[in-house]
Each structure stands twice: as structure tokens, then as C-alpha cells.
Amino acid sequence: MSFYDEIKNYNANDIDTYLSNVTNADIEESLSKRKIKPSDFLNLLSEPAGEYLEQMAQKAQQLTVQNFGHTINLFIPLYISDYCTNECIYCGFNKTNKIHRQKLTLEEIEKEGKAIAQTGMRHLLLLTGEARDVTPIDYIESAVNILKPHFASISIEMFPMDTDEYRRLKLAGVDGLTLFQEAYDKAVYKKVHLSGKKADYHYRIEAPDRGAAAGFRMISVGALFGLAEVRKEAFFTGIHAKYIADTYLDTEISFSMPRINPAEGGYIPDYPISDKTFVQCMMAYRLFLPRAGITISTREKAEFRNNLIGIGATKLSAGVKTDVGGYARRETNATPQFEISDHRSVDEMAEAIRARGYQPVYKDWQMEMFG
Amino acid sequence: MENDKLKIGPKEFSSRLFTGTGKFASNDLIPKMLAASGSEMITVALRRIDFTAATENMLEYIPKNVTLLPNTSGARTAEEAVRIARIAREVGCGDFIKIEVITDMKYLMPDNFETLRVTEILAKEGFVVLPYMLPDLPTAKKLEDAGAAAVMPLGSPIGSNRGIKTKELIEIMIENCTVPVVVDAGLGKPSHAAAAMEMGADAVLVNTAIATAHDPAMMGKAFAMATRAGRYAYRAKMATVGKTASASSPLTGFLR
């Protein structure tokens, strides 16, 4: 049993029919409940629920403060290689993009780690493209070992791996796994992942199961908003998160909410999502799983991110470079995986969080204590 | 009430309200809350403390006269909790330790079995062990035997603000435990703290309700007053609550 089996219980056409029949009374009833079921979650994701956004936000704010207090956790991503064997039509690292590819040496990784640590950031998210020949598990494990002394927590956002591989990285000190399904809609998934290992929907959708089984403490799931019809994608993301939380009781679950920005190759999303719908999905996540973290990346604009503090966001990145080697080197000719919209430094982000009456939390973990 | 000190391990406390450091909008609020509430013991998640001094160290906001109660938040096994406790002692956080072993991230219920294992190990190492637990008398008695300095049953799920939903179970613990019973978790309003103290709890630990209040210092004071009121009521031996009106001796008056 895995989420691949679980998701078979849901039929996309049934969900469409359900969504088109949601009434205001349904939404009001869902909003009045203390604990909500998947059908309530769908009610809150429906188009008519857009009219109840303020009420949803009021409730989301109260739940977020209750569970997370007036705090926002900070983290920073580090890209160590942009080699990739996949052909994902929305991604800057797409193998057909004629870009200058780089893989950092272990010395360079340490330099990047030190440069990042100087900003005060203590929670690191380590990323690579998918190219097992160029960046095998040994290399990733060595990178973790070199970075460990500089950080309190290291998570990975990489190609899906086998349970044994995850276990190796867990033993090396990795605490968390971020893995986006990108598209839960199988037809869309096939359409946007033209070739490479990533074209294997089944292997990818079970990766969070394998990560949780390997003992990662924190699992983050997400759909890449813009690829497929957003309300259903958000629903499946929520069901996925709930499934992980229910199945692996000792795993902390969180949502990421990446939304497509222009990458190298100029991909235009088929299902662009408005700020309003984005916030509606976020509120629905919060009401469905009040204890789940919600991460908002620098793909989103500074002002928009500021406004999400307090109504549901719990984790923000800052001072971000999405090009390989971007932290230690002043000039780089590397291509970013996607364009970032919020270029604020760590200090600027922390100040913005304080200005909203929240405490920026740099450290909420210490890998030597656990595992 | 002058001689109503609470003794836990080697220390005596005048205030029966223990507090926490999580969820505050800013660390500046912690000393203000401590001053307003008079709380003399505060718990802190060791995983939150940055010993590298790369960023702000929360411990600097806790006055020296307040006893630090480091907790093992994040631990899923006895081994992890033991490791955290030893680190806490090494870095100078003292001998007090609140055991928090949680294997269920959905409801954040403490794992009594693992908690007992940790208590056995740490009490032998001279720690003053305060285990956070599901209210269960047999476990509480085993924790006492293992050397716990107090037991800390939850009133309702942590952070839920739902009050004392486990009332009957906690009452049984209060009646039978020889170490202090500290009601921890779920106390959302001062009246909940008062109710716990009226029942005979020795102290309460409150974090979320204070830290997330609009004015944490004032809420800290409100909880302190309620805790004292409840304690006074308990010491004064409250009249029992009857369900019907009671005339003086309706059934046996004829015997006079």
C-alpha cells in the first residue's frame, strides 16, 4: 500500500462533478466545523468558496497562530549541480536547454555552505538536477557530510530515490525531504515530462512514502501550480499530505506552493493561477491540516509573501540564489532553475517578518540530537 | 499561604505557574511576561537554541533567577531524549529536564512507554526529571519509582487551548501520586488553570495561551492570578458542589 494505491480511490471526473455542485450552504457548513474531511476540503477549494476567502483567512490565521505561534521559520536552498537527464518542458535545467552546466566540487560546496552560514541561515535545503551518473548518491552523501558542520538541519530536494538510498542520506544527517509531484493529473504529467526517469509517474508519487519509511522527519509535498487544473491539483496535494500524516505518524508534513514563473525556454503555463486562487488553496490547506507547515518560496513577489505571513505561511526562504555556485561567487554565468521574484537578503526578510509582528526563527532543529 | 512553597527536586518555587518560550512574536516579550507573571520556571526547546551565536540566543532573555527547564522537543525515542538531556547539561542549562517524547505528529501525544525509559536513565544520572505524559496512574507510579521529580499529565492536546479534558484521569493521579502533579498542555484560559489548581494540581505549565495572546505579559499575569486563586481555593477546602438545593436536615431533622 502506498499513495499510488490511495489515489486510485479518487476519480477526477467525480471530483469535477462534485466541484461543480458545491453550494454556499456546503461551504458554510465546512467553515463551521472544527475538523474537516476531504469532502469539506473540496468545498473550500471550489470556485464559489472564493467568495468566502476572508472568512477562510480569519480561521486560517487563528489556526496558524495557535499551532505555530507568531513565528516564521527561515531556510535557504543550495543548488550543487544543474546537470539533468530529464526533459521537463517547464524547467530551466531541461536537458535540451543549451546551457552551461556545472557541478560543484566538494571544496566549492563547502565555500557555498560557509558563505550561506555567514548570513545566519541554519536550515539548508540541498538541490540537484537528476543525473545519477554525474551526481550519484556518493557525491550527495559527501556534500551532506561537508555541509553538516555549518548547519543545524539539512533537507534535500532532488530526484526520487530508493528507500535504501534515502536511508543512507538520513544516516548522513539529512532530516527532511521535499519532493513535488509537479502534476497529480496523469495525462498532464505525461505531457510535460517528455523523457528521462522523471517521466515515471508511479516512481515519483511513491517517493514521499519511501522517504518517510527511511525515517526522514519532515516531508514536504506540492503540486507545481500552473501545470494542471489547480483546484484538483490542490485537492490531491492535500490528500497526499494527509495520507503521509496518517500513515507515518512520526513524520511532520508540510506543503510547498510553487507556482510557475518563466524559466529558460519560456514555458507559458496552461493553467495560470491568480493570486486569489493561490491564497484560497493555501487557506484550504491550513483548514484541512491545521498542523501542516506551509512553505512559500521566492518565486513569489516580496509584497505578496509579506501578506501571507500570519494567514498560513510558516516557512520562508530568503537571500536565495537558484543558480549553481551563486552564493560564493560574485559573478556567475549559470542559468537559474526558475526566475525568483523576491530578491531580499536574509536580513531584509527577517526585518519584514518582524515588521508584521512575527519572530524570524533561524533554528528549530539540531541534527546531532536526532536520528 | 506564606509557607506554601512547591518543592521539585532540590528547588522551591513560590509561583505555581510554569511557562514556556515557544511561539512568541519576539524574544523581548519573554522577560516581560516573566516579570508580569512571576513565573519562576520556564521551559525551552533545546533544539531552538543556537549555540553557534550566529543568531540571537533565546537564553539571554531569561533572567538568572528563573529556573531553566530545557525540554526534549523533537525526540521520538528514549535515546534521542537522553542525548538531548545530556547536551542540555553540557551546555550549562542545568539539571532540570522536561521529557517530551512524541511519536505521533498528528496529535502530539506523548509516548508514555519511551518516556518511562528516559526517566529511568536520566534520574540515575542525577537529572531532575519532569516527564510530560498522558494521564495514566500506573505509568505515573512507575515514573515515581524511576525517580521522576514530578509528573506532568496533559490537560488536552498540546497547543489546543481546550482545557482539562482529561479531568477524571488527572484527579486519580492527584489522589495517588507522591510527587507533584503539574498539569501541562491544553490550558487555554486562566479559568482552566484555576480549575486545575482547584482540583489539587501542584502547578500548571502554560505556553501557547500566553505566548499567542495579544498581550503576553498581561495574559501571563492573568494566568498567575488564576493559578493562585485555584491554589487558595484548594487549600481553603472548597464546599462540595451539590446538584439540588440543600435545606439543613430534611431527612433526619426529626431526630433532634
pLDDT score of B150: 97
What pLDDT score does B250 carry?
67
Domain extent, residue B17, equals 6-236
Closest by alpha carbon to B134, among B150, B117, B157? B157
Chain A touched by B49 (CB under 8 Å): yes
Residue B249 in any domain: the answer is: no
Question: What pLDDT, on a 0 to 100 scale, did the predictor assign at position B1?
Answer: 60
How would you list the strands of the sheet with B128-133, edge to edge? B152-153, B128-133, B96-99, B67-71, B41-45, B17-20, B203-206, B182-184
Q: Is the CB of A363 less than 8 angstroms away from the CB of B26?
A: no
Closest chain A residue to the Cα of B80, Cα to Cα? A370
Closest among B136, B129, B133, B227 to B173, alpha carbons compared: B136
Q: Mean per-residue pLDDT for B152-174? A: 92
The secondary structure of residue B125, as a DSSP letter, is: T
What does the pLDDT read at residue B52? Answer: 79
State the best of B19, B21, B23 to mutate against chain A, taking most chain A CBs within 10 Å.
B23
Residue B25 has its nearest CB partner, among A70, A246, A249, at A70
pLDDT per residue over A78-123, tens digit each?
A: 999 999 999 898 888 888 888 889 999 999 999 999 999 999 999 9
B170 within some domain:
yes
Q: Quote the ipTM score.
A: 0.86
- Asked whether residue B165 is assigned to any structural domain, the reply reads yes
* Candidate from A121-130, A212-221, B230-239 with smallest mean pLDDT: B230-239
Q: A228-237, A291-300, B154-163, B212-221: which range is least confident on average?
A: B154-163
* Cell reading at A211: 522517504
Q: How many domains, in total, are found in chain B? A: 1
Q: Which residues of B116-133 are buried (b: 16+ CB within 10 A; e: fewer)?
A: bbbbbbbbeeebbbbbbb
Residue B138 binned pLDDT confidence (cut-offs 50, 70, 90):
very high
Nine cell digits for residue A267: 514555458
Q: Which residues of A touch B46 (CB under 8 A)?
A: 366, 369
Is residue B181 a part of any domain in this protein?
A: yes
**Residue B247, in any domain of the structure:** no
Q: Name the residue with higher pLDDT: B158 or B252.
A: B158
Q: Do B22 and A251 touch (CB under 8 A)?
A: no
The DSSP code sequence of A193-206 is B-SSGGG-HHHHHT
pLDDT surpasses 60 at A49: yes
Q: What is the pLDDT of residues A181-206, one digit of tens each?
A: 999 999 999 999 999 999 999 999 99
Q: Name the pLDDT band for A369 (thresholds 50, 70, 90).
A: confident
| pLDDT (0 to 100) of residue A368 | 84
Q: Residue B3: pLDDT band by 50, 70, 90 thresholds?
A: confident
Confidence (pLDDT) at B57: 85
Domain assignment present for B254? no
Q: What is the rounded distance in angstroms from the CA atom of residue B239 to the CA atom of residue A311?
A: 46
A-contacting residues of B 191-220, CB under 8 Å? 208, 211-212
Residues A253, B27: C-beta atoms closer than 8 Å: no
pLDDT for residue A286 is more than 90 = yes
- Classify residue B253: in a domain, yes or no: no
Per-residue pLDDT at B2 exceeds 70: no
Q: Is the pTM of this model over 0.80?
A: yes
How far apart CA A332 and CA A90 sit, in angstroms, is 22
Q: What angle do CA A105, A106, A108 make, to 5 degrees?
A: 65
Put simply, the answer to whether A357 touches B54 (Cβ < 8 Å) is: no
What is the SS3 assignment for A251?
A: coil
CB contact under 8 A, A70 and B54: no
Pairing of strands B203-206, B182-184: parallel
Enumerate the active-site residues of B: 98
Cα distance between residue A323 and residue A316, in whole Å: 19
Q: What is the largest CA-CA distance in chain A?
A: 60
Angstrom distance (rounded) from CA A293 to CA B118: 29
The band of B106, judged by pLDDT with boundaries at 50, 70 and 90, is confident
Would you call B47 an interface residue with chain A, using a CB distance cutoff of 8 Å?
yes
Tell me which range, A91-95, A189-193, B57-61, B103-107, is most confidently predicted by mean pLDDT: A189-193
Which cell numbers in the block locate residue B237?
A: 477546602
CATH number reported for the structural domain that contains residue B210 in this entry = 3.20.20.70
pLDDT of residue B182: 98
Instruction: Output the average pLDDT for chain A.
Output: 93
Note the pLDDT of residue A339: 73
pLDDT at B146: 97
> What pLDDT, in 10s, does the model give residues A136-159?
999 999 999 999 999 999 999 999
Domains of chain A (ranges; CATH) run: 3-369 (3.20.20.70)
Nearest-CA distance B162 → chain A (Å): 11
Q: What is the pLDDT of residue A333?
A: 64
Question: How large is the average pLDDT for residues A321-345?
Answer: 78
